Amino acid sequence: MQKILGIFEQISRIPRCSGQEGKISAFLTEWAQTRGFAVRADAVGNLLISVPASPGQQQAPVVVLQCHMDMVCEKTPDSSHDFAVDPLQLIYEGDWLTAANTTLGADNGAGLATALALAEDPELVHPQLEILCTVDEESGLTGASSLAAGFFTGRILINLDSEDEGVFTIGCAGGRHIELILPLHHEPAPASDPVYELRVHGLQGGHSGINIHEQRGNANALLARLLTRLRAAMPLRLAAIEGGSAHNAIPRDAAASLVVLPADEVLLAALVAELAAGLRAEYRHEPHLAVSVQKKAEHAGWVLSRETTARVCDLLMAVPDGVMAMSKEVAGLVDTSMNFATIREQDGALSLLFSLRSVRPAGIEWLAGRIAALAALAGAGVRQGNGYPGWQPDMQSELLARARQVYQGLFRSEPVIQIIHAGLGQKTERQENDKNDQQERQQRSQLPPAAEPPGQKLIQRLGQGGKDPGQQDRHQKIADHVQENCGNEENQQQQGRSVD
């Protein structure tokens, strides 16, 4: 553990925000060259460090250790830290390691440190190792999505971007983003009509894949319900609307500016109070849910026409959200879901962003078809992202079998084998809401111990079995899947987790 912490401390002195990996790349290149390891970069800046096999292990299958170089750079409002030049200020508090007023960068600095520690361990008997270090993982998988076939040669890949000890992730959902774009028609607002801000806030939020089955409140969906009820009780028009923060976060907050008649102000306040009480009773598992309506001092200027207001409200109410289907094969696993992620006004149009997930390609197409049909009915257009395929679990994987054996031998317990309803390769490492938390921390005891880290034992076992032709065939299946989809890091996770 101390070896890994020592390397992590070196890494923490190097600025490495997403898209600014030049300094950490230079550090890794110098580290490799100093030890005589071959290193090369591709056009976008991904690095591959080749570590020769131990004597007698040259025929063993090559093992790829994958991690990413960048980190989320967030700080507290009162921090003067400059991520472009300042080293992180590490703080040791008992078993926990944190950083002073900034994110820690253990995602994925801990993975980098583990890979380097394994590679330079003189006692470790190992096959040839390839340390694959990708760029810009946190903000969009730029490095992973740009990987060219053949950049690495290994047929076994172990991802080191994980978070929970004793958990082996062996499968994930595929996903796609889809944006619905509705043209808006504005007109001058009546000067005498008051403007109110209706807001839904205080929800838990969470990751739109991992937490989607918990039926957490979606602020966008709840705002749509409120608008529908209010429109049924009084004439109103929308002046502005916005909600959500990111494609992979369940919205915590959403708000709309409403223009109502002066005669309806008392009714508006009373009805919102009634509806808020009903939502709090319905969402008892959301203890901080709040609905507020507040009169604004300024005049609206422009509002949506009554027809456009009706179309927007109906569309918001009609869009699906949440779990669409549960798996018939794996108990408790979400099969297909949709997150109503964000509401934005831009360039004279309303933009609604959705995150679609499914373990089956057909599930993604089904949801995309539903959004396209809604768009056609509403007179809107759609813009679809490329998405990423799911990773089908292989319970017969030789790598999984060996990893389980190693874990059982070291800890005398069974590891947790999981399939997650999220894309692997991009984090909100933990949830999107936790990932950007300045209180990111690393538990020191969860780093591999110095004597017999599981990674060492697993690498040794893979090397010892390298001459088994049957094993080579099984590893080839893994390699074929990785190389066929090497443009999507989501398919390159044989252990570990990096969540989109």
CATH number (domain holding residue 78): 3.40.630.10
Residue 500 falls inside a structural domain: no
Residue 15 falls inside a structural domain: yes
pLDDT confidence of residue 464: 60
| Report field, pTM of the whole predicted structure over 0.75 | no
pLDDT tens-digit series, residues 435-456: 334 455 555 555 554 335 566 6
Could you tell me which of 107, 140, 144 has the C-alpha nearest to residue 435? 107
pLDDT confidence of residue 107: 87
Amino acid at 146: S
Q: Which of 136, 137, 286, 398 is catalytic?
A: 137
Residue 498 falls inside a structural domain: no
Same domain, 336 and 454: no
Residue 37 falls inside a structural domain: yes
- 137 classed as catalytic: yes
Same domain, 301 and 155: no
- Last residue within a domain, chosen from 355, 384, 413: 384
Residue 497 falls inside a structural domain: no
pLDDT confidence of residue 364: 95
Which positions of the chain have pLDDT values less than 50? 426-438, 449-451, 466-498
d(CA 127, CA 232): 69
pLDDT confidence of residue 288: 95
pLDDT confidence of residue 424: 66
Domain that holds residue 357: 175-384
Same domain, 444 and 401: yes
Same domain, 378 and 473: no
pLDDT confidence of residue 297: 87
pLDDT confidence of residue 267: 97
pLDDT confidence of residue 453: 55
Same domain, 216 and 226: yes
Q: Which of 70, 136, 335, 398 is catalytic?
A: 70
- Last residue within a domain, chosen from 349, 384, 419: 384
Residue 106 falls inside a structural domain: yes
Per the structure, the count of domains in the chain is 2
Residue 327 falls inside a structural domain: yes
pLDDT confidence of residue 429: 27
Same domain, 361 and 459: no
d(CA 489, CA 143): 9
Same domain, 167 and 189: no
Same domain, 148 and 195: no
Residue 223 falls inside a structural domain: yes
Same domain, 95 and 205: no
Same domain, 333 and 346: yes
- Last residue within a domain, chosen from 384, 414, 435: 384
Same domain, 192 and 78: no
CATH of the domain at 288: 3.30.70.360
